[in-house]
Structure 1
Amino acid sequence: MKLLKLIAVLLDYPQEELWEHAGELRAACDDPALPPARRAALRGFADGLMAQEPMAAQERWLELFDRGRAMSLLLFEHIHGESRDRGQAMVDLLATYRGHGFALGAKQLPDYLPVVLEYLSLRPVEEVRDWLGHVAHILELLAARAQERGSAYAVLLETLVETATGKVDLALLRARVAGEERDDTPEAMDRVWEEEAVRFGAEAPGEECNPRPGCRRARSGSNPR
């Protein structure tokens, strides 16, 4: 599905090279196969993204998706948290990808939502619906939180919800997340930093870790490397 590939690109951390393909992005948003309202919403997001300087767009992405766990694009973080089950789930997902000839980049995590969407964009429609159906509750929660925070990224997440469930009705979830304690404030992130145990081994973050998928900055206010 072309739509999933488009959302994967727009939802990913905005590397500077993205601006070199602004025309292609806009053309993909104008795909006549999409409903007019959805085309307009996606085009509006792409235009807004391309109107920003890359560094400003990157900081906006980090503020939403990389500060706190509530908006994490790592799907297993919402399902397994830091439990041991997450490691086995990652291994199983990697095996599925490899079994269908889908290769990941060296620093990509298999449960990172844009990676999942890129994989699904190559799969049959029935398989896409099945996968999205299993994570629809996570997509709805992310969409409701993005709406509550007034983020333009809500458009992309709403589109995924619509693709997964056939509708977008987030009123009840909006009411619920409105009462959540934010985990992306400096105070909340300081608490996490103080409480989180030191980890060694395969899941320990490397020194070269960028503020990209799966690599959360140690403390709020630190600069990307």
Structure 2
Amino acid sequence: MKLLKLIGVLLDYPDDELWLHREELIAAAADPCLSPQRTAQLTGFVTALMDADPITMQERWVSLFDRGRAMSLLLFEHIHGESRDRGQAMADLMQAYQDNGFVLAVRELPDYLPLVLEYLSLRPLDEARDWLGHTRHIIELLAARAAERESAYALLFELLAEFSGERSNLQTIRRSVAGEARDDTPQALDRVWEEETVRFGARAPDVDCAPPDRLPAGVERVAHKESRA
């Protein structure tokens, strides 16, 4: 599943080293699981990225993903916010990684989407699709928000949603997002880090971000022991 690995690399912060792998990235975009139209679009995305100035693309990435919470690549932030449930979800995910011999060698949180995609690229196809199916509501939300901001990154989220193989809800989400208040303006950035529960921004879309009742394949609840005085 080289496609998931590629999308994870493209969604990650584009450090200078990325430009050393131009030909590899363009070749990887021709994934056999994609339609000719999607292959052309993904190849175009990679080519445009590689043709651009690294500093410009790094600034663009920060502007999209690192200002405000609406476009955060931390999946659990969209589900749990800063609630205690997020800690439990982190523990469950870390345990799943460890059970399958996936060791985190970077300082990223386990729910960081590019990291999740790297893990899924090493797992069986059905399992990877099951995981993405559980996060599809978030991925489609990110796709709609990226498109609303006229960002080329919308394509990557759309490809992930399609990979899951589940019924699309993207059109409904796009209509909701169209009236959503931006959280990356200077005024909004002064307020966005206030404590919130599940939804972000002054007006959240009518999309339920509650996690599915069933956990993705291979993930089990990690019991927490109560501390005693």
Equivalent residue, structure 1, for 2:76: 76
| Identity %, equivalent residues | 66
Does residue 34 of structure 2 align to residue 34 of structure 1?
Answer: yes
Q: Deviations over 1:153-212 (max 9, x none)?
A: 01100100111135656222111101111111110001235x459xxxxxxxxxxxxxxx
Partner residue in 1 for 2:47: 47
Structure 1: 5+ residue stretches without partners: 198-225
Unaligned runs of 5+ in 2: 197-229
Find out whether 1:136 has 2:136 as its counterpart: yes
**Pairwise CA distance, 1:104:** 1.2
Alignment partner of 1:13 is 2:13: yes
Question: Which position in structure 2 is the counterpart of 1:103?
Answer: 103
Kept in 1, the 8 Å contact 2:69–2:192? The answer is no
Q: In 2, distance between residues paired with 1:184 and 1:112?
A: 20
Residue 162 (structure 1) aligned with residue 162 (structure 2): yes
SS at match of 1:192: coil
Task: State how 1:87-98 maps to structure 2 within 5 Å.
Answer: 87-98=87-98
Alignment-mate amino acid for residue 16 of structure 2: E
AA matched with 2:6? L
Is the Cα contact below 8 Å between 2:90 and 2:110 reproduced in 1? yes
> Which position in structure 1 is the counterpart of 2:190?
190
Distance in 2 (alpha carbons) for counterparts of 1:59 and 1:30: 27
Task: With the length of structure 1 as denominator, give the TM-score of the two structures.
Answer: 0.83
Structure 1: which 4+ aligned runs deviate by more than 3 Å? 165-169
- Tell me, in whole angstroms, the C-alpha distance in 2 between the residues paired with 1:39 and 1:59: 26
